[in-house]
């Protein structure tokens, strides 16, 4: 009987456990060579992982022969697989990522998704499926918005939604603000590289920013975001759209 806890099973071992589970959905037993092929690794690496899983009581492993899941191992494998499927569905169905990209993201995140995080995601899908007040038009608007689907040429026929239309009067770019002005980030309109840099600086939706100072010669703008002062070049500041707050 295993004496160790498996709650902190490493991501790598979870991957092997999930692979064994998936192979056993198609065949009666899983062999080392099958697992090595599925994971694109050497047989030696598989053997080491299987030994560890066997020590944890998650698999029955006959060296150089075959492997099958214990009852406890199947329970753990199903838990990992369920998280993977849930995340993949969220990225693909809701966020409109390609199947391949959704698969990669799910693989990267599934090992760190807590029980609470999984429960919240499940409730989100339950809400969409069962709540009579579910704003289905909101989800569909998100999926069909040209702003969201700008990288899908086949969807260029989509009509502009509210997010794509001219900004409301209270929404302005940071470059238009004066020192002391404060606003909440609405969205960033910038090419991918610039957009990723700005997101990395913490300029996320609904984040508060305040203009600290402006260089009149270069147009650079210093803002405070999340307690830190950062400098934006003119083009960057112009791409950050905020809902301006009225002074107290």
Q: Specify burial of residue 244 (Cβ count, 10 A radius: 0-12, 13-18, 19+).
A: middle
The pLDDT score that the predictor gives to residue 35 is 94
Indicate the DSSP class of residue 245.
P
- 1 lies in some domain: no
Distance CA 147, CA 205 (A): 15
The per-residue pLDDT for range 85-107, each reduced to its tens digit, is 999 999 998 888 899 999 999 99
Q: Could you tell me the residue range of the domain that residue 17 belongs to?
A: 8-134
Quick check: 61 pLDDT over 50? yes
The pair of structure tokens assigned to 150 is 């700008």
Indicate the DSSP class of residue 132.
T
Measured between its terminal Cα atoms, the distance across the chain in Å is: 66
Give the mean pLDDT of 48-77. 90
Mean per-residue pLDDT of the chain? 84
Are 108 and 217 within one domain?
no
Final residue in a domain of this structure, among 114, 149, 165:
165
- 195 lies in some domain: yes
Give the mean pLDDT of 193-216. 91
- 19 lies in some domain: yes
Quick check: 5 pLDDT over 50? no
Distance CA 173, CA 85 (A): 39
Distance CA 194, CA 200 (A): 10
- 3 lies in some domain: no
Are 96 and 144 within one domain?
no
Model-wide pTM > 0.75:
no
pLDDT over 90 for what percent of the chain?
Answer: 53
Are 102 and 13 within one domain?
yes
Where residue 3 falls among pLDDT bands split at 50, 70, 90?
very low
Distance CA 84, CA 105 (A): 9
The per-residue pLDDT for range 123-171, each reduced to its tens digit, is 888 887 777 666 666 777 777 776 666 655 444 444 555 555 555 566 8
CATH number of domain containing 66: 1.10.10.10
Range of 62-66, 112-116, 127-131, 135-139 with top mean pLDDT: 112-116
The pair of structure tokens assigned to 243 is 């809902």
Give the mean pLDDT of 114-129. 86
pLDDT over 70 for what percent of the chain?
Answer: 83
The per-residue pLDDT for range 23-32, each reduced to its tens digit, is 998 988 899 9
Are 213 and 127 within one domain?
no
């Amino acid at each position: 009987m295993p004496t160790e806890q498996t709650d902190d099973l490493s991501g790598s071992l979870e991957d092997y456990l999930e692979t064994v589970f998936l192979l056993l959905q198609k065949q009666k037993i899983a062999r080392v060579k099958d697992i090595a092929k599925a994971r694109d690794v050497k047989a030696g690496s598989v053997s080491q992982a299987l030994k560890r899983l066997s020590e944890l009581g998650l698999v029955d492993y006959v060296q150089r022969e075959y492997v099958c899941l214990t009852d406890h191992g199947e329970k753990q494998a199903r838990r990992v697989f369920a998280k993977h499927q849930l995340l993949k569905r969220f990225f693909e169905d809701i966020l409109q990522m390609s199947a391949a990209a959704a698969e990669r993201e799910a693989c990267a995140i599934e090992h760190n998704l807590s029980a609470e995080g999984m429960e919240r995601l499940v409730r989100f899908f339950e809400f969409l499926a069962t709540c009579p007040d579910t704003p289905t038009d909101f989800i569909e608007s998100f999926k069909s918005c040209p702003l969201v689907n700008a990288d899908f040429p086949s969807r260029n026929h989509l009509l502009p939604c509210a997010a794509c239309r001219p900004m409301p009067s209270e929404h302005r770019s940071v470059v238009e603000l004066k020192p002391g002005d404060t606003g909440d980030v609405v969205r960033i309109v910038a090419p991918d590289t610039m957009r990723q840099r700005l997101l990395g600086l913490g300029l996320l939706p609904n984040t508060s920013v305040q203009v600290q100072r402006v260089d009149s010669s270069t147009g650079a703008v210093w803002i405070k975001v999340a307690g830190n002062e950062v400098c934006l070049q003119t083009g960057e500041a112009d791409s950050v759209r905020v809902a301006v707050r009225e002074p107290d």
